[in-house]
């Protein structure tokens, strides 16, 4: 809260001027050394000098409404004598002083429980108002903040409750340091004139420890407790020697306590009712409360019970039967037992002393017995294992069963069967104890055996028997007609469980892979063999044929050029293959008579495809020229003795020569002759040399591409 106590400044100066002494450190500034309230009013002549040695309101452990924690505090401790409403007024001696307060219920607790936040704060006032504050009728607030009212609502209290009241001087160094009057009122009585008494002895456990805790009706001074425990005496079935006594919380600085711990020289071993009473101790006094009231010497007495110790134990006996086991349990527990609780480990319980329990399943069970009386209990556990006394069972061999092999079944029933009923789940049965059986088909069979002994115990067992197929080799190929160089995929389709594969591809090559790939370099028919092996069910072989055709090799030659009238033959012949040319022809070879042209061919050799393409251009500069001489001299000198001409690419040729009278004197259609330099016309007619002069020639022909040609002109014969 924020306040400006400006009016106090002159008091501070006046105090310095007059040399007023500052109060000494307060002996009541801590809860543990607080003032015990034994009357209805109390006067504090000066303000508390400080907050003591312990900051009980330190945040965050304590969440008191006194936001600035302790400043200048005084603590008051009181116990309610008779219940009712509690009211009080804190009236400053100087009207401008500001006092705040907080009230804690510490019944059954200590001052330490205020600091750690355990003790409840039942009223608190942090109002910034000056003047009187407290609890008063007509107010309803439980906790007033800085801006709240100066009074809180009265508190309803009960006899025997203990409270701690802290009064805090907020004005501090700006105030007068004058004291206050604290007046209690209301219908409750807090000033104590009743002697403390023993309220109870806290429950004694069954471990027989060597101490008990005494609960008192109200707090007593720690200083009134004799350390040797002589303030107390115990009588009962056996002698009890008290070795020492200590107040709960006294060792941590508290000046009062409501619990005293008594330590014995030895645990109380005899069961029964004992009596505890107070008396004057070796310190010359008995227990005294905060207001000096002394416990009555030898008058106050209270009984307490040392319970009988119970020890759980049991035995058991099993009586086997056909379909269940009966277990007889017997408790051997000791002590005064009033209750039994059995847990049989199978989800069932019983409260009988000596129960009989039926277990319907064999196995291991943890049985628990708990015995108790109103004061003590004890538990023990034991493990029981129930094994079958009659249980059908069987085995078979071999464990890995192949189709059609004989299997040996053997009865392994626990007990002594006299009859057997076998059902092999394939329509067959047997009454032999150890039959032999063969399964003709693969699959899973539920084989059942029913056995019966001579007492009528009957049991059934069903087991699954798996029969695997005999191995049958089979395989598939990616094609049945392939080409040289192509990868052929072989796939194992064997039924059964092969563990080894041996492939033979017919060309000397082999493989041990389940699904190999193989290429053939030569055409032919190959016998493919697969041999598969099952480690248990044997071996099998399968064969099939594969035809490999040659991959056609097609080469039409390099790109080329032809001259006018010239032809070119393209050849793609490859065995018995089929052909398709870009010209539409389907023969092994074709003739090209025109250029330019691009020609392709596809050769199909039983599905093995080859192809090639060639470009044929029109030749110009490299083509030979037509030459027909205009004269020749058939004089036998070896030069120009024949009429020889050159016309390229002719496939047919006729030559006509006429004299000047139009008479045909020479004719030939012999292409070989006419194209031979020394076999053309030699200037003779009927073996007679012809006269010098001019003759006329006519040359007719046809180019290779079928185009006709005619040349004519004059020819001069000279000698």
Q: Between residues 400 and 412, which one has the greater pLDDT?
A: 412
pLDDT, position 13:
31
The rounded distance, in Å, linking the Cα atoms of 447 and 459 is 14
Q: CATH topology of 6-185 equal to that of 394-468?
A: no
Burial 218-236 (b: 16+ CB within 10 A, else e): bbbbbebbbeebbbbebeb
The pLDDT value given to residue 594: 86
Instruction: Encode pLDDT of 559-581 as tens digits.
Output: 998 887 778 899 999 988 999 99
Q: What is the pLDDT of residues 681-711, one digit of tens each?
A: 999 999 999 999 999 999 999 887 788 989 9
| 314-386 under CATH 3.30.360.10, yes or no | no
> In this model, does residue 503 exceed pLDDT 50?
yes
Average pLDDT on 517-537 reads 93
Average pLDDT score over residue span 401-420:
93
CA distances from 369 to 185, 362, 365 (A): 60, 21, 13
Report the alpha-carbon distance of residue 453 to residue 415 in Å, rounded. Answer: 8
Rounded Cα–Cα distance for residues 441 and 438 (Å): 9
Say if CB 140 and CB 47 are below 8 A apart: no
- Kindly give the pairing relationship between strand 406-411 and strand 436-438: antiparallel
pLDDT confidence of residue 518: 97
The CATH number of 6-185, from 3.90.1170.30, 2.60.120.1050, 2.60.40.10, 1.20.120.1200, is 2.60.120.1050
Confidence band, pLDDT 50/70/90 cuts, at residue 21: very low
pLDDT category at 645 given cuts 50, 70, 90 is: confident
Show me where the domains of the chain are located: 6-185, 198-306, 314-386, 394-468, 475-549, 560-618, 631-717
Task: Answer whether residue 387 shows pLDDT above 70.
Answer: yes
Global pTM reads 0.41
Alpha carbons 260 and 248: distance in angstroms, whole number: 6
Task: Judge contact between 157 and 175, C-beta under 8 A.
Answer: no
| pLDDT computed for residue 690 by the predictor | 93
pLDDT of residue 296: 77
Class of domain 475-549: mainly beta
Q: Residue 1: its pLDDT value, please?
A: 54
- Selection from 190, 166, 196 nearest residue 259 by Cα: 196
Note the CATH number of domain 198-306: 2.60.40.1220
Check pLDDT > 60 for residue 345.
yes
Q: How much of the chain, in percent, has pLDDT values that exceed 70? A: 95
Record: fold of 394-468: Immunoglobulin-like (2.60.40)
Torsional class of 208: left (φ above 0), alpha (ψ -120 to 50), beta (otherwise): left
> What is the pLDDT confidence band of residue 316, given thresholds at 50, 70 and 90?
very high
pLDDT given for residue 59 in this prediction = 61
The CATH fold assigned to 631-717 is Immunoglobulin-like (2.60.40)
Residue 89 exposed, middle or buried by CB count within 10 Å (0-12, 13-18, 19+) = middle
Over 70: is that where the pLDDT of 271 sits?
A: yes
Inform me whether the pLDDT recorded for 94 exceeds 50: yes
Tell me the average pLDDT of the chain. 88
Band the pLDDT of 2: cuts 50, 70, 90.
very low
pLDDT at residue 677 in the model: 63
Q: CA triplet 215, 220, 223: central angle to 5 degrees?
A: 125
Sheet with 356-359, edge to edge strand ranges: 314-320, 325-331, 356-359
SS3 for 126?
Answer: coil
- What is the rounded CA–CA span in Å between residue 406 and residue 408? 7
């Amino acid at each position: 809260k924020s306040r400006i106590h400006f009016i106090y400044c002159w008091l501070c100066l006046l105090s310095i001027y007059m040399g007023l002494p500052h109060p000494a450190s307060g002996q009541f500034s801590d809860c543990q050394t607080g003032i015990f309230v034994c009357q209805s009013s109390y006067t504090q002549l000066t303000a508390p000098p400080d907050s003591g040695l312990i900051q009980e309101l330190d945040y965050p452990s304590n969440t008191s409404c006194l936001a600035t924690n302790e400043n200048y505090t005084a603590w008051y401790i009181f116990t309610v004598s008779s219940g009712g409403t509690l009211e009080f007024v804190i009236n400053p001696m100087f009207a401008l002083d500001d006092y705040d307060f907080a009230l804690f219920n510490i019944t059954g607790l200590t001052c330490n429980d205020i600091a750690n936040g355990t003790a409840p704060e039942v009223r608190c006032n942090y109002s910034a108002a000056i003047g009187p504050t407290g609890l008063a009728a007509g107010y309803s607030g439980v906790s007033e903040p800085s801006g709240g009212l100066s009074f809180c609502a009265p508190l309803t209290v009960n006899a025997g409750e203990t409270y701690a009241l802290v009064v805090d001087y907020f004005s501090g160094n700006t105030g007068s340091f004058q004291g206050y009057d604290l007046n209690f009122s209301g219908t409750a009585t807090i000033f104590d004139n009743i002697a403390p008494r023993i309220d109870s002895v806290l429950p004694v456990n069954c471990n027989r420890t060597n101490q008990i805790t005494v609960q008192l009706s109200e707090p007593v001074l720690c200083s009134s407790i004799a350390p040797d425990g002589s303030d107390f005496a115990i009588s009962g079935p056996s002698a009890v020697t008290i070795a020492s006594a200590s107040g709960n919380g006294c060792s941590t600085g508290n000046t009062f306590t409501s619990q005293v711990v008594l330590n014995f020289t030895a645990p109380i071993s005899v069961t029964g009712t004992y009596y505890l009473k107070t008396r004057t101790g070796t310190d010359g006094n008995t227990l005294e409360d905060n207001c000096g009231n002394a416990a009555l010497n030898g008058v106050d007495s209270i009984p307490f019970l040392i319970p009988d110790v119970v020890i759980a134990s049991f035995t058991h006996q099993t009586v086997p039967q056909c379909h269940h086991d009966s277990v007889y349990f017997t408790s051997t527990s000791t002590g005064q037992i009033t209750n039994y609780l059995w847990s049989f480990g199978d989800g069932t319980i019983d409260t009988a002393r000596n129960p009989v329990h039926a277990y319907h399943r064999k196995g291991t069970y943890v049985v628990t017995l708990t015995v108790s009386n109103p004061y003590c209990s004890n538990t023990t556990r034991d493990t029981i294992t129930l094994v079958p006394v009659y249980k059908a069972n069987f085995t078979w061999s071999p464990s890995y069963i192949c189709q059609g092999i004989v299997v040996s079944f053997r009865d392994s029933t626990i007990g002594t069967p006299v009859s057997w009923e076998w059902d092999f789940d394939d329509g067959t049965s047997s009454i032999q104890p150890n039959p032999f059986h063969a399964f003709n088909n693969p699959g899973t069979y539920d084989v059942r055996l029913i056995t019966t002994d001579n007492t009528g115990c009957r049991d059934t067992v069903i087991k699954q028997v798996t029969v695997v197929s005999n191995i049958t080799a089979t395989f598939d190929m990616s094609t049945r007609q392939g080409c040289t160089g192509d990868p052929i995929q072989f796939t194992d389709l064997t039924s059964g469980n092969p563990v080894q594969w041996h492939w033979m591809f017919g060309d000397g090559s082999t493989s041990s892979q389940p699904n190999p790939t193989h290429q053939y370099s030569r055409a032919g028919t190959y016998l493919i063999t697969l041999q598969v092996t099952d480690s248990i069910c044997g071996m099998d072989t399968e064969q099939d044929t594969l035809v490999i055709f040659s991959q056609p090799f097609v080469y039409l030659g390099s790109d080329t050029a032809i001259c006018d009238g010239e032809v070119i033959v393209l050849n793609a012949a490859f065995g018995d293959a089929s052909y398709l040319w870009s010209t539409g022809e389907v023969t092994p070879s074709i003739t090209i008579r025109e250029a330019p042209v691009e020609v392709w061919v596809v050769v199909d050799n039983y599905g093995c495809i080859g192809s090639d393409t060639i470009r044929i251009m029109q030749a110009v500069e490299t083509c030979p020229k037509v030459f027909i001489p205009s004269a020749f001299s058939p004089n036998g000198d070896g030069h120009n003795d024949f009429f020889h001409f050159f016309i390229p690419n002719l496939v047919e040729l006729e030559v006509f020569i006429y004299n000047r009278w139009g008479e045909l004197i020479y004719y030939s259609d012999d292409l070989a002759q006419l194209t031979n330099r020394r076999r053309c016309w030699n200037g003779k007619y009927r073996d007679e040399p012809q006269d010098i002069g001019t003759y006329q020639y006519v040359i007719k022909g046809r180019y290779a591409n079928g185009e006709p040609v005619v040349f004519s002109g004059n020819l001069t014969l000279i000698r």
